[in-house]
Chains A and B, each alone.
Chain A
Amino acid sequence: MLIAEHNEKKMMQILRPILFLILFVFTGAGFVSAAGVTEKDTTNSHSEGFEAGKHVIAHVSDAFEWHIATFGETHISIPLPIILYSSNKGWNFFMSSKFHHGHEAYNGFRIEHVGENEGKIVEINQNGEVVGLPIDLSITKTVAGIFVSVIVLFFIFLNIAKSAPKSVNKAPAGLQNLFEPIILFIRDEVAKPAIGEKKFEKFMPFLLTAFFFILINNLLGLIPIFPFGTNVTGNIAVTMVLALFTFFITSISGNKHYWKEIYNPDVPWWLKYPVPLMPIVELSGVITKPFVLMVRLFANMMAGHMIVTVFVSLIFIFNDLMGVEAGLGVSFVSVAFSVFIVLLDILVSFIQAYVFTLLSALYFGMATSEHH
């Protein structure tokens, strides 16, 4: 029993780096496979030509199904649950496969492809006319991607939490050894200097959760194979919620001094009366700070995904314009640049997670600092 357990452990030790390597190889190689899929798309189904803009936007946008690959006319995708509420029909639950990749209507609902509601589910009547927008709480690709990353997050940190109390009097090993320096970095280099020695502990759970949630989503977003590769942190709704958490925690933990500096800052009186100029500026700062957090993370991750997709699209643009040889020639350059951008994105993933955490910590520090 013991020997078997030992062997298993040993095997995991050998397997782990290999798995890691595979993960990283796929980060680069995945784009080649993505390229292959799109090629078939252009040559077979969309013979009118490759629409790069649409392709790029579709790649970074949310979707009602999790598209994996397309072979000829066959789309391989994971259907996701659609949850709708409309005043006429009440709650509706069904799988996105009922839409047949958006080609068909189901139960009086349809995915709109044109117009102002493009990409949204609309309610239609018997004649196919749009009668309204249902409340859409579907588990979209982004939400499914969040679930995947949360599973990874739980797997890593609940494991560490299990082994951590046992290794108090010895050196950490394995996963714990990998993540402990990062946790210590967040604690000692981010939280402590930004918030202060006395109060930082209260904010540690949020800072660590936000950091690792963003980092893991950033990195998983770079792996273009199922079940990874969803553009979670490049979705503005996700970054908005993260920024909202920072905003609410800052506001709730803001002390008297913090609010006084906003509503009645130490400036000459004529900046406050009769027009409350400085309070307005300060108050707008309160809103701008989380807004900037939201936009920065979103724009960085979105841009990374877009650039890679654009580089890959270049191959097919040249293919359409000047023939297969040109496409082949450009593909070398495109792949090289894509690999470079992906490597850059790995760096950006860490930097953005760090910046979000650092700025959140700084805002918490501002909210809790004593008058000096």
Chain B
Amino acid sequence: MGFVTPDYGTIFWMLIIFGIVLWIMKKFAWAPILKALKDREKSISEALNSADKARKEVAGLKASNDQIIAEARREKEIILKEAREIKDKIIAEAKIQANAETQKGIEYARQQILAEKTAAINDIKEQVAELSVMIAEKVIRKQLDNPKEQELLVKDLLNDLKLK
């Protein structure tokens, strides 16, 4: 059974060859290959991590965007409300002012009318007094005996008055 007894010549060569092969493979094959595999795994995991981070960032950005939009909307509403209030206030004030102006105008007109009226009354009074004096003068001056004449005269005078 020659083939189950290890041959020392083969052992000798195999030890040398396998030893050298192990050394060469370790140094020139496995070192770069295992390193490349490790590097690739690292770069893949890094890429995944950064993608995850980017996704989170985008989500955060979106959330903050929403917040900003909501705030802007709120602000817009506040501004609109204020504007509306200001408008109402202005309108109300304008109304009050206009009312006051009108009242003032009416008051002024009334006073004017009153003044005119007083003046007219005074004028009438003066004229009446003048007329009365004039009538009296004429009556006195004519001295009519006949009542008919008298009546005619008064009538005439009254007509004159009316004509005026």
A241/B18 contact (C-beta < 8 A), A180-B37, A236-B3 known: yes
Contact residue among A139, A169, A235 (Cβ-Cβ distance under 8 Å from B43): A169
Question: Do most interface residues of chain A lie in helix, strand or loop, or is the interface mixed?
Answer: helix
Contact assessment for B36 and A168 in the assembled complex, using a CB-CB cutoff below 8 Å:
yes
Q: What 0/1 pattern do residues 226 to 251 of A give for CB contact below 8 A with B?
A: 00000000011110111011000000
Contact assessment for A187 and B11 in the assembled complex, using a CB-CB cutoff below 8 Å:
no
Contact assessment for A158 and B29 in the assembled complex, using a CB-CB cutoff below 8 Å:
yes
A168 neighbours in B (Cβ, 8 Å): 36, 39-40, 43
Contact assessment for B13 and A160 in the assembled complex, using a CB-CB cutoff below 8 Å:
no
Please give the distance in Å from B41's CB to the nearest CB on chain A.
Answer: 9
A205/B6 contact (C-beta < 8 A), A137-B12, A161-B32, A241-B18 known: no
Chain B residue with minimal CB distance to A146?
B17
Contact assessment for B3 and A57 in the assembled complex, using a CB-CB cutoff below 8 Å:
yes
Contact assessment for B28 and A169 in the assembled complex, using a CB-CB cutoff below 8 Å:
no
A138 neighbours in B (Cβ, 8 Å): 9
Question: Do most interface residues of chain B lie in helix, strand or loop, or is the interface mixed?
Answer: helix
One of B19-27, B56-64, B87-95, B106-114 at the interface: B19-27
In angstroms, Cα B37 to Cα A160, docked, is 11
A204 at the binding interface (Cβ < 8 Å): yes
In angstroms, Cα B4 to Cα A61, docked, is 10
Q: What 0/1 pattern do residues 136 to 159 of A give for CB contact below 8 A with B?
A: 111110110011001001100110
Q: How many residues of A contact B (CB 8 A)?
A: 48
Contact assessment for A61 and B10 in the assembled complex, using a CB-CB cutoff below 8 Å:
no
Contact assessment for B17 and A205 in the assembled complex, using a CB-CB cutoff below 8 Å:
no
Contact assessment for A143 and B29 in the assembled complex, using a CB-CB cutoff below 8 Å:
no
Contact assessment for A204 and B18 in the assembled complex, using a CB-CB cutoff below 8 Å:
no
Please give the distance in Å from B60's CB to the nearest CB on chain A.
Answer: 28
Could you tell me which A residues sit within 8 Å of B by CB distance?
A: 57, 60-62, 118-119, 136-140, 142-143, 146-147, 150, 153-154, 157-158, 160-161, 164-165, 167-169, 180, 183-184, 187, 201, 204-206, 208-209, 213, 235-238, 240-242, 244-245, 302
Q: Can you pick out 8 interface pairs between chain A and chain B where the beta carbons lie within 8 Å of each other?
A: A62-B3, A136-B8, A136-B9, A161-B30, A164-B32, A165-B32, A165-B36, A183-B34
Can you add 20 more A-B contacts, CB < 8 Å, to A161-B33, A168-B36, A237-B14? A57-B2, A61-B3, A138-B9, A143-B9, A143-B10, A143-B14, A143-B17, A146-B17, A147-B17, A150-B17, A157-B33, A161-B28, A168-B43, A169-B43, A204-B34, A236-B4, A237-B11, A238-B14, A241-B18, A242-B18
